[in-house]
Amino acid sequence: MTERDIGIDQDVEVRNWASEDMVARYNVEDRYRAAVLEARKPPKPAARPAIAPRPNSPPATRPNAPASRPNTPPPRPNTPVSRPDTPPPSKPNTPPVQRPNTPAPRPNAPAPRPNAPPPQRPNTQPGQKPAADQCGAKSNGKSKRAFSTTCQTNSLTLGGVTRPITKVPDQGSSAITYKVDGGWPDPTNQQVETAYAKTGKTPDLTFEDEAKWLRKVDQLLAKGTYEEHNFIVFRGVTDKSRLDATNFAEQLYPVSGQDKVAECEALVKEKLELVIRKVRAYVDQFGILHTDVHPGNVLWDMAATDPTLIDWGRAKDVGKGRWSEHEADVREQAEFSHLKGGERLCGWSYESRDP
């Protein structure tokens, strides 16, 4: 066994390491040299520990690479990017949510009531009658609407008493008469009485004379001004109407034509005797004469046996016990208005007479 060794002097010496003389000579030196040579060798890499494979596990696969972008030029500035023609994924068995067909409410706007029509402004113009919802007392009861003679219903307050009032069918030329709903308290005993109220079609109309006569015959319940209109409230009657609207009309209508005037007038004169007796009773008791006894100012019960005189605006103070001085005038005026005047009950033609 030989080894080539290079010395300092660059001489090459071949030694025989198997000879006995070399063993002892180089025993120590060669072991040192061998150790130096061994140290000069590069270190061996450490062996990696073996990793035991997982049982029944498939080899790991790399994740799918992201899809490459389409070869489209980049979008221009301010140009919307078109979406690919692929439908969005939908949830399984889930119907799409539909938006209600109603616009979104504006901020601070009240929510519309269900199935309620939108509020409308009243169609009123100057000189035009107000709508029904503008008349009468407000529904909340906290305030009232202004009084208007054009309204069918209104609210009246006099002397601390407030009542709703409703127009009666028959109206005069200058005054408006209302039925007081719920009656009016009698100022003497606070008992609620059937009552009517009257005011003028214009605010300047007063009822001083009529109020004076009503007070004398104990029929005036209240008097005053409300919403710049002058009012009087007086006693009324219930279940009474004009003579031709009572059961007496069944006897009157068959003879009310022009061919049976005499027979009709005889029936009406019988009823006028009851009216004249009532007029005399007021003269004897109060000294007040009712001078306007026409069909519209006399109300009857359905049996046509008890007349009631209304509208005392033209009454006169004649004094008690002086009926004989005025009887003829009262009879003449009553018969003319019932038999000959525009409100006559007899002598109508069947073509012009209302059924």
pLDDT means over runs of 10, the chain (355 residues): 47 52 56 72 65 59 56 56 56 56 55 54 49 52 69 93 92 89 93 94 90 92 94 92 92 88 93 96 94 93 94 90 94 94 83 49
Is the same domain home to 230 and 271? Answer: no
- CB-based burial label for 109 (10 Å; 0-12, 13-18, 19+): exposed
Is the same domain home to 210 and 288? Answer: no
Give the separation between CA 180 and CA 165, rounded to whole angstroms.
Answer: 5
- With beta carbons less than 8 A apart as the criterion, state whether 325 and 318 touch: yes
Is the same domain home to 274 and 305? Answer: yes
Residue 210 lies in a domain: yes
Give the separation between CA 345 and CA 350, rounded to whole angstroms.
Answer: 13
pLDDT in tens, 90-109: 555 655 555 555 555 555 55
Is the same domain home to 286 and 317? Answer: yes
Give the separation between CA 79 and CA 17, rounded to whole angstroms.
Answer: 90
Q: Which two tokens stand for residue 349?
A: 């033609």
- In this predicted structure, what is the pLDDT of residue 329? 95
Residue 28 lies in a domain: no
Domain residues for the domain of 213 are 143-235
Is the same domain home to 195 and 270? Answer: no
Residue 333 lies in a domain: yes
- In this predicted structure, what is the pLDDT of residue 3? 47
Residue 66 lies in a domain: no
- With beta carbons less than 8 A apart as the criterion, state whether 271 and 243 touch: yes
Chosen domain end from 204, 235, 266 = 235
Is the same domain home to 229 and 151? Answer: yes
Is the same domain home to 226 and 297? Answer: no
- In this predicted structure, what is the pLDDT of residue 9? 47
- In this predicted structure, what is the pLDDT of residue 66? 53
Residue 68 lies in a domain: no
- In this predicted structure, what is the pLDDT of residue 31? 72
Is the same domain home to 217 and 290? Answer: no
- In this predicted structure, what is the pLDDT of residue 1? 45
Residue 216 lies in a domain: yes
Is the same domain home to 227 and 267? Answer: no
Residue 209 lies in a domain: yes
Burial 28-56 (b: 16+ CB within 10 A, else e): eebeeeeeeeeeeeeeeeeeeeeeeeeee
- Residue 29, SS3 per DSSP: helix
Those residues whose C-beta lies under 8 Å from the C-beta of residue 167, and which sit 6 or more positions away, are 152, 153, 176, 177, 178, 179
Give the separation between CA 137 and CA 199, rounded to whole angstroms.
Answer: 18
3-state secondary structure 93-111: CCCCCCCCCCCCCCCCCCC
- In this predicted structure, what is the pLDDT of residue 232? 95
Q: Which two tokens stand for residue 77?
A: 């500035």
Q: Report how many domains make up the chain.
A: 2
Give the separation between CA 114 and CA 241, rounded to whole angstroms.
Answer: 47
Is the same domain home to 163 and 214? Answer: yes
Is the same domain home to 182 and 226? Answer: yes
Those residues whose C-beta lies under 8 Å from the C-beta of residue 109, and which sit 6 or more positions away, are none
- In this predicted structure, what is the pLDDT of residue 164? 95
- CB-based burial label for 198 (10 Å; 0-12, 13-18, 19+): buried
Chosen domain end from 235, 268, 301 = 235
DSSP 187-254: TTT--EE-EEEEEESSTT---HHHHHHHHHTT-EEEEEEETTEEEEEEE--SS-B-GGGSTTHHHHGG
Is the same domain home to 201 and 247? Answer: no
Say which CATH number the domain at 275 has.
1.10.510
Residue 283 lies in a domain: yes
